[in-house]
Structure 1
Amino acid sequence: MSELRFIDLFAGAGGLSEGFVRAGFTPIAHVEMNKDACQTMKTRTAFHWLKEHGRTEEYQDYLKGNILRDELWTKIPDNLIKSVINTEISEKTLPYIFEQIDSSLNNQIVDIVIGGPPCQAYSVAGRVRKDMTDDPRNHLYKHYVEFLKKYKPKMFVFENVPGILSANNGHYLQLIFDAVREAGYELDKKVLNAQDFGVLQDRKRVIIIGWKNNLEFEYPQFKKTEMEFEIGKHLFSDLPKIKSGEGSWGVSNYAGITNSYLKNSGIRNGVDFTTQHISRLNNENDLEIYRIAVEKWVNEGKRLNYGELPPNLIKHNNIKSFTNRFQVVNHKGVSHTVVAHICADGHYYIHPDITQNRSITVREAARIQSFPDDYFFESSRTAAFKQIGNAVPVLMAEGIANKIKEMIK
């Protein structure tokens, strides 16, 4: 099959892109306004090029701290680094972005456009905090449609939160559908759950898939992956046991052997170490709450109600809403949804092993999102958590990409 090319808009740390690369697609450009996420994408781009050329040990040198990031980036063609376009997508920047993409394309076609505009404007929490009417993020779909008009891909994938279905009583979703149809595409939507693609996480997302209106396509049917794996036994079992404030940003050697889930999901992919297995340092008050939360969950199967804590542990005046602000990751099944707020604190993602008594590490959060262990999130721990929380799980993206590939090959 001839090479299939894609453009990734609002690319973030590249979870959606990673899935499409795994399925055999070739990225032409990633467009993202966040500098940290762009640095992550450049590093991942370097990984893929070095792997393709049998030079993965040079990428591992970077992970081990033997070379600096800038040196890693110089090891691959400069046009690949430039294909990560660090700019906001707006009416003003579109000509510049198109110019950059055109220089990478060399008159070749774009087969698919992927990506989802920032979802806060459509999230239920976002609507509580702010009047949505004047939020410019509500209208980013218009810029997305401009890419469809210019590059005329066979198909596109548009990802967002379930809140987009009910935002302004469905008015925003209808605006998107109308604009896409006017651009010459037919489309449909479904709410898909990441755990149905083998991700150990209950994460629902609206996935809109569109195709040129001269193609006799319909929304693909995805085969559900039956889950027989658990967070505690399969996802976290081989990582070193660490306590609050411990771990390493750099190399961590595995403390256990791999298993069928880690191997088949591509999370453990042949490298004998991982990175960014580092936890936050928590104060004693939080650690005591963690102990109570874990004991309640592991022994009773019940979630902690913040208002029922001993009075000396309660530090928030509000004990009637957000009573589940301390939550343990389900060790016997799949995790609850990882969101970007994990960058602020880890209270909503407490490790289920009481002997470690901490919130989850960057690497554990990345695993819940099905990122491979050699995926490195740039800049800082806070930035890494934010990138992970905003990402599309890699296994989910790969499942979607494989189905798209079947349709257009």
Structure 2
Amino acid sequence: PFTLKNMNIIDIFCGTGGFSTGFEATGEFKVKVGLDVLGDRLKTFKANHQFACVIEGDIRKYSPNTFSKITGMAPSDIDVVIGSPPCQGFSSIRPFRSLTVDDPRNTLFESFALLVQFYQPQFFVLENVVGLITHQQGKTIQQMIETFETVGYKTDWRIMNAVNYGLPQKRERVIMIGRRGASSIVFPQPTHFFEGRSMAPLNHPKLIRTYPLMDSKLPPAISVMDAIHDLPNLKSGEESKHYRTDISPTPFEWVRRKNVQKLTLHKSTAHSSKMLEIIKHAGSNIAALPPGMVESGFSTSYSRIEANEPSVTLTVNFVHPASNKCIHPYQDRALTPREGARLQGFDDDYIFKGNRSQIVKQIGNALPPLLGRAIATALLD
């Protein structure tokens, strides 16, 4: 069995570092390198992974040899390569045998694959949106698998919903895992029961889900209020730096709070009087508003998240009700950055760097640490 203490990770397209934080939470992995093009994300990544080498740049600009020199990481130093290549990396994948390392046409995905080929880690993990499975009628994902198999990796993928792994949010992702050689690949089993729709067809063979008869013994999915009810009530534009003392935190809230004494990022958006009027009338979707109150919007705009079930997928605009469903279940305001961070499963001591709008985007875009942890645990098994 594969039992190395402190396996080393490279995280490409690392963002704020949520994914790698999940890996490190197992106690068995160490993040050695993070690369991203966005400087504000990297400041947050660096603040939480102090010993990692951080590169701000485009992976296509670094040959694997150059990358190795800059980071000081030789192939023998790295056990796992993880990453979330942006979707635009898939439109023009070519047969891997014809790729050359310094071809300026390399896509983001191809550069990720070249790095895997160079480092030959025990595992790689690639995360992406569910839309990837239908991209070019499924040819794209097949070509990705063939690419990795060409360089020696048994590769498989599943559609995973973070709600099944203890996140108070429905957030589905395609997770592709490669293992060097011909060994089998293990995906994590759900730890929480949730009966909800998927973006994938119902009986899709790659969809990991829970079934009423088999899995109802699992604890139920964590609800929104299970995750944020220890945070004080706020009006629009208000801020609080203290946790509520009149209630007991839930187990989920206790774990997120660690030993933090001072509440941070719990400041609500200062809404306009027009928006406040809309918020007062808001229900579970835009149709709940009185006719004529808003001119246009998505069906989920200007709507409240349900208190007693997991939240909808957070977007990068979760403090602005005009673009998505993000109004607090009971209070007349959008979610605060802290509430968003809770729904993404970040501990309250996670350090976010940047201005408010950058931090909101960082939180909304992140890969939940709890999903990273579940995947990392499956690799260890």
Residues 1:99 and 2:69 are matched in the alignment: yes
**Larger helix share, 1 or 2:** 1
2:301 aligns with 325
Equivalent position SS for 1:223: coil
TM-score scaled to structure 1, two decimals? 0.77
Whether the 8 Å contact between 1:258 and 1:268 is mirrored in structure 2 is no
Residues 1:242 and 2:242 are matched in the alignment: no
Give how far 1:119 is off. 3.7
Structure 2 counterparts to residues 124-139 of structure 1, below 5 A: 139=107
TM-score scaled to structure 2, two decimals? 0.82
Equivalent position SS for 2:107: helix
Which is further off, 205-214 or 337-346? 337-346
Residues 1:158 and 2:126 are matched in the alignment: yes
* Alignment partner of 1:305 out of 278, 287, 310: 287
Whether the 8 Å contact between 1:246 and 1:278 is mirrored in structure 2 is yes
Give how far 1:262 is off. 1.8
Give how far 1:361 is off. 0.6
- The one-letter code of the counterpart of 1:309 is P
Unaligned ranges ≥5, structure 1:
47-79, 123-131, 298-302
2:99 aligns with none
Give how far 1:198 is off. 0.5
Whether the 8 Å contact between 1:188 and 1:219 is mirrored in structure 2 is no
Residues 1:167 and 2:135 are matched in the alignment: yes
CA distance in 2, matches of 1:310, 1:220: 47
After superposition, give the CA deviation of every residue in 1:318-349 in whole Å (9 maximum; x if it has no partner): 46xx2321221111110000122437666521
Q: Go from structure 1 to structure 2 and tell me whether the alpha carbon gap of 1:253 and 1:96 turns closer, same or farther (over 3 Å shift).
A: farther
CA distance in 2, matches of 1:172, 1:343: 34
After superposition, give the CA deviation of every residue in 1:181-225 in whole Å (9 maximum; x if it has no partner): 1111111010000010000001110000110124x2223341332
CA distance in 2, matches of 1:96, 1:388: 31
Whether the 8 Å contact between 1:12 and 1:391 is mirrored in structure 2 is yes
Q: Go from structure 1 to structure 2 and tell me whether the alpha carbon gap of 1:119 and 1:385 turns closer, same or farther (over 3 Å shift).
A: farther
Q: Go from structure 1 to structure 2 and tell me whether the alpha carbon gap of 1:40 and 1:343 turns closer, same or farther (over 3 Å shift).
A: farther
Q: Go from structure 1 to structure 2 and tell me whether the alpha carbon gap of 1:292 and 1:272 turns closer, same or farther (over 3 Å shift).
A: same
Structure 2 counterparts to residues 26-41 of structure 1, below 5 A: 26-41=30-45
Unaligned ranges ≥5, structure 2:
94-103, 193-218
2:326 aligns with 349
CA distance in 1, matches of 2:362, 2:63: 23
Give how far 1:95 is off. 4.8
Which is further off, 139-148 or 31-40? 139-148
Give how far 1:13 is off. 0.5
- Over aligned residues, Cα RMSD in angstroms? 2.5
Equivalent position SS for 2:60: coil
Residues 1:262 and 2:253 are matched in the alignment: yes
How many percent of aligned residue pairs carry the same amino acid? 30
1:253 aligns with 242
Give how far 1:94 is off. 5.0
Residues 1:290 and 2:270 are matched in the alignment: no
CA distance in 2, matches of 1:112, 1:360: 35
Q: Go from structure 1 to structure 2 and tell me whether the alpha carbon gap of 1:360 and 1:137 turns closer, same or farther (over 3 Å shift).
A: farther
Give how far 1:258 is off. 2.5
CA distance in 1, matches of 2:243, 2:66: 45
Whether the 8 Å contact between 2:36 and 2:57 is mirrored in structure 1 is yes
Structure 2 counterparts to residues 8-407 of structure 1, below 5 A: 8-24=11-27, 25-46=29-50, 80=51, 83-92=53-62, 95-101=65-71, 103=72, 105=73, 108-119=76-87, 139-214=107-182, 216-225=183-192, 226-227=219-220, 229-232=222-225, 234-247=226-239, 252-256=241-245, 257-263=248-254, 266-293=255-282, 296-297=283-284, 303-305=285-287, 309-311=290-292, 313-314=293-294, 316=295, 318=296, 322-342=298-318, 347-354=324-331, 357-406=332-381
CA distance in 2, matches of 1:21, 1:279: 31
Which is further off, 331-340 or 343-352? 343-352
After superposition, give the CA deviation of every residue in 1:11-68 in whole Å (9 maximum; x if it has no partner): 001110100010120111011111011000111124xxxxxxxxxxxxxxxxxxxxxx
After superposition, give the CA deviation of every residue in 1:252-285 in whole Å (9 maximum; x if it has no partner): 221134221223xx31112222211111111111
- The one-letter code of the counterpart of 1:45 is H
CA distance in 1, matches of 2:317, 2:8: 33
Q: Go from structure 1 to structure 2 and tell me whether the alpha carbon gap of 1:45 and 1:286 turns closer, same or farther (over 3 Å shift).
A: same
CA distance in 2, matches of 1:272, 1:259: 17
Whether the 8 Å contact between 1:161 and 1:204 is mirrored in structure 2 is yes
